Amino acid sequence: MRAELRKLLGLPTAWVGLVLGLIAAPALVLVNAPGMRRAIDSGQTADLGYENLGIGLLGALILGVVTVSSEYTSTGDDAPGAHQMTATLLAMPRRSHLLVAKGAALVLVVAVQGALTASATVWLTRVVLPEHAPPFAPGRMAAAVLYWVLLALLAYAVTLIFRNGVITLTVFIINSSVVSVSYLLTKLTPWAAYLPDIVGAHMFLRSDLIDLRISPVTAGLVMTMWVVALLAVAAYLFHRRPA
């Protein structure tokens, strides 16, 4: 696992994810101050600060994708079929051990990043809007961090299935920032609220994102089940496929 941490943190793209994840949410507090004042005027203060945490998940997604996609990037024009995964499997031929070590390194990095970002964002909200910010709630923050960790693992599993970071990253980023396909689906069927990216947000947001209300614990469990299921598929394929 030490090797996997070193490997992940040695990648420039991983640092893009780290920095983006760290600064995006706190920065949004400052940029979005007018929006938050409008929310205050309309009396919706329950999620003040916390809703900005959503943007920081981009960092977690990038980290989850990069930890796998970097393994499958071609190492050079002279050997287009060659990639780092060969070296990785030669060093750690037990595939299940490798997947656990990679996942653990990812969880550690995202959890530390999430804890720092969540604290900074909530603290900044209190500085910018002292009289309206919701009280400091460690439980909600922990839930937000857990949401990030689960999303990172989700990206990790999906990238492992497709063995290509571009597909995963495109789908996740478009879905989380431009047009939320999952959100649109909730308009068609309430069951779409249980899609992993939507249900997870219920873990730390209190206002109703959509008409359906899901308790934080249920949300956490449902999202965990998604992650476990996708990880199981990814691990199965990883064992079966030639490197």
Partner 1 sequence: MISIDRVSRPGILHEVSFDARPGRVTGFLGRNGAGKTSTVRILLGLDRAAGGTALINHQPYASWPRPLTVVGALLDGSGAHRARPARAHLRWLAASNGLSRARVDEVLEVVGLAGAGGKRAGRFSLGMSRRLGLAAALLGDPAVLVLDEPFNGLDPAGVRWMREFLRRCADEGRTVLLSSHLLDFPVDDVVVIDGGRVVARGTLGEVTGEHDSLEQAFLSLTGASSW
- Interacting residues toward partner 1 by CB under 8 A: 2-4, 6-7, 10-13, 70, 73-76, 78-79, 81-84, 86-87, 89-94, 242-243
> Taking the complex as a whole, how short is the minimal distance between the CB of residue 196 and partner 1, in angstroms?
29
Query: Under DSSP, is residue 215 helix (H, G, I), strand (E, B) or coil?
Result: coil
Closest approach, Cβ 116 to partner 1, in A, equals 24
CB of 236 to partner 1, least distance (A): 14
CA gap 200, 222 in Å, rounded: 8
Q: Which is nearer to partner 1, 187 or 240 (CB)?
A: 240
Q: Cβ neighbours of residue 64 under 8 Å, at least 6 residues apart? A: 106, 110, 151, 152, 153, 154, 155, 156, 159
Q: Which is nearer to partner 1, 75 or 180 (CB)?
A: 75
Rounded to a whole number of angstroms, the minimum distance from the CB of residue 158 to partner 1 is 20
| Pure H helices in the chain | 2-9, 12-31, 33-41, 53-72, 84-91, 95-128, 138-162, 165-173, 181-188, 196-201, 216-240
CB of 119 to partner 1, least distance (A): 30
CA separation for the pair 201, 143 (Å, rounded) = 9
Tell me the longest C-alpha to C-alpha distance in the chain: 61
State which residue, 93 or 190, has the beta carbon closest to partner 1: 93
Nearer to partner 1, 77 or 131 (CB): 77
* Residue nearer to partner 1 on the CB measure, 11 or 115: 11
